[in-house]
């Protein structure tokens, strides 16, 4: 069975109920991303990491976080006091190990609740590859990372060529796949995104396994992400079709 999906920003409708995870419209949320890139900032080589199983984070997307564990409250507070950068990476099942590729985000909104939690919006900047873990005296983990493999994530105008026909096919299949899993998308908001943002968003919220999402995250170019996502969706659509035949 497909994995549980992640509620993403203002795009998702579940059982005809609008799920709004931020007060900002999508286009305004993404305004933060473009401003960050225009600034031509140097990304940090050493970053604090929030390892979290089942959460896949992509550039040009927004990730709402509800922080309550002491070590990560400390991490977020330290980030806010410095450059507001933190890395999200998926932890491997039943182990302290993490995958080698994650995504750097910048805290663009934060609010402390009365019960001590921290509500954070993290805006995706660039994927990174882990080089080594830093031996520190902090209660959270830090890693030395490299962005070289995913340098195109930092381009203001992504120069990758995406074939329109491939985009059209993957969107048609995705709509069918979402419908069969009871997941409705606000397509009017979705269409406001550029092509790369659309692919990243679909990969982030699709009801597929964590390992499959990780495969998409590690696909360097947009066209390779499309190919991987397309194969995964084809698999689930075919599996659903076979299950339907079996039940009949």
State mean pLDDT over 23-51.
64
Average per-residue pLDDT for the chain: 79
Phi, psi of 146 (to 5 degrees): -130, 140
pLDDT of 179 > 80? The answer is yes
On whether residue 172 sits in a domain, the answer given is yes
Taking the C-alpha atoms of residue 198 and residue 135, their distance in angstroms, rounded to an integer, is: 38
| Same domain assignment for residues 143 and 164 | no
| Same domain assignment for residues 36 and 140 | yes
pLDDT of 34 > 50? The answer is no
| Same domain assignment for residues 127 and 59 | yes
On whether residue 2 sits in a domain, the answer given is no
Domain of 193?
12-21+159-247
State mean pLDDT over 116-129.
95
| Same domain assignment for residues 200 and 123 | no
200-246: pLDDT as tens digits:
888 888 888 989 999 999 998 888 898 999 999 999 988 754 444 44
- Position 163 confidence tier, pLDDT thresholds 50, 70, 90: low
| Same domain assignment for residues 74 and 183 | no
Residue 156: per-residue pLDDT: 53
Taking the C-alpha atoms of residue 130 and residue 180, their distance in angstroms, rounded to an integer, is: 37
125-145: pLDDT as tens digits:
999 999 999 999 999 999 999
| Same domain assignment for residues 196 and 109 | no
| Same domain assignment for residues 44 and 149 | yes
- Position 5 confidence tier, pLDDT thresholds 50, 70, 90: very low
pLDDT of 96 > 80? The answer is yes
Q: How far is CA 228 from CA 29, 72, 125, in A?
A: 27, 32, 22
β-bridge mates for residue 114, sequence order: none
Residue listed under structure tokens 């069918």: 176
**Total number of domains constituting the chain:** 2
Residue 13: per-residue pLDDT: 32
- The larger pLDDT score, comparing residue 238 to residue 47, is at 47
| Same domain assignment for residues 145 and 234 | no
Task: Give residues with Cβ within 8 angstroms of 161, minimum separation 6.
Answer: 223
| Same domain assignment for residues 119 and 171 | no
Residue 183: per-residue pLDDT: 80
- The larger pLDDT score, comparing residue 182 to residue 26, is at 182
Task: Give residues with Cβ within 8 angstroms of 32, minimum separation 6.
Answer: 106, 108, 123
On whether residue 95 sits in a domain, the answer given is yes
What share of the chain in percent tops pLDDT 70? 76
State mean pLDDT over 23-45.
55
Residue 184: per-residue pLDDT: 79
pLDDT of 16 > 50? The answer is no
State mean pLDDT over 20-43.
50
State mean pLDDT over 140-167.
78
């Amino acid at each position: 069975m497909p994995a549980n999906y992640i509620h993403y920003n203002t795009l998702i409708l579940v059982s005809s109920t609008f799920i709004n995870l931020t007060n900002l419209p999508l286009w305004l949320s993404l305004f933060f991303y473009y401003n960050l890139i225009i600034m031509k900032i140097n990304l940090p080589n050493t970053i604090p990491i929030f390892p979290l199983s089942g959460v896949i984070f992509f550039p040009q997307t927004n990730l709402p976080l509800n922080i309550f564990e002491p070590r990560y409250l400390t991490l977020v507070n330290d980030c806010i006091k410095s450059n507001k950068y933190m890395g999200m990476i998926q932890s491997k099942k039943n182990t302290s190990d993490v995958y080698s590729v994650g995504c750097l985000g910048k805290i663009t909104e934060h609010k402390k609740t009365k019960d001590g939690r921290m509500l954070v919006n993290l805006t995706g900047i660039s994927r990174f590859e882990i080089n080594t873990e830093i031996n520190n005296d902090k209660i959270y983990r830090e890693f030395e990372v490299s962005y070289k493999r995913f340098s195109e994530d930092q381009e203001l105008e992504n120069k990758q060529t995406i074939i329109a026909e491939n985009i059209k096919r993957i969107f048609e299949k995705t709509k069918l796949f979402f419908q069969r899993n009871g997941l409705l998308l606000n397509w009017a908001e979705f269409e406001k995104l550029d092509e790369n943002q659309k692919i990243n968003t679909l990969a982030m919220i699709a009801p597929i396994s964590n390992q499959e999402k990780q495969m998409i995250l590690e696909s360097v170019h947009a066209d390779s992400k499309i190919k991987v996502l397309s194969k995964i969706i084809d698999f689930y659509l075919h599996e659903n079709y076979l299950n339907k035949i079996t039940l009949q």
